[in-house]
Amino acid sequence: MKYMLLMNVRGKAPYSISTWSKKDVDAHLTFLRQFNRELSASGEFVAVEGLTHPDRARLIHAGEDGAPITDGVFPEAKEFLAGYWIIDVASPERAYEIAAAASAAPGPGGVPLNMPIEVREVMSGMPVD
């Protein structure tokens, strides 16, 4: 079963990595690289991507003529999607274990962030009733 693990952080939370010391950023990135290597070695890794900060995001919808209409940025957002993994595991419980490990990535001073990781199964087809 494939799952997407979504790393959601509060807008002004400790994940404001641009405010961290170089030592803390390096430790965090080292953890994430090792985490990804371990998922690859176990055969559970599918993909991972980090996302830019929300101040670069735009919400787009089609206008009546089909032309793109842009909304954003959203500085008032309380949380944002920082990145995601796609994993392929045998059970939901294994996806939860991996999400908990990702959640514990080190933050400033090496303290685990314990940030929320949303776990959602990736649909392989239309739902069957």
Structural domain containing residue 21:
2-121
pLDDT at 14 over 60: no
Asked if residue 128 is part of any domain, the answer here is: no
Q: Which of 15-24, 36-45, 78-87 has the highest mean pLDDT?
A: 36-45
Q: Is the predicted pLDDT of residue 75 greater than 60, yes or no?
A: no
For residue 16, the model assigns a pLDDT of 73
End-to-end CA distance of the chain: 19
Q: Number of structural domains, the chain? A: 1
Asked if residue 129 belongs to a domain, the reply is no
Enter the tokens of residue 112: 């685990």
Q: Would you say 52 and 73 are in contact if contact means Cβ atoms under 8 Å apart?
A: no
| 114: in domain | yes
Of the candidate ranges 11-20, 97-106, 112-121, the one whose mean pLDDT is the lowest: 11-20
Lowest-pLDDT range, 11-20, 35-44, 95-104, 119-128? 11-20
Lowest mean pLDDT among 15-24, 51-60, 62-71: 51-60
**Cα gap 13→115, rounded to integer Å:** 9
Q: Prior bond to 111 cis, omega within 30? A: no
Distance CA 122, CA 85 (A): 11
Look at residue 32 and tell me if it is in a domain. yes
Instruction: Report the pLDDT averaged over residues 93-99.
Output: 97
Whether residue 93 is contained in a domain is answered as yes
Q: For residue 62, is it within any domain?
A: yes
Can you give the CATH number for the domain in which 99 is found?
3.30.70.1060
Q: Is residue 90 situated within a structural domain?
A: yes
The answer to whether residues 5 and 35 touch, using CB atoms and an 8 Å cutoff, is: no
Paired strand residues for 9: 80
Whether pLDDT at 4 is above 80:
yes
Is pLDDT above 70 for 53?
A: yes
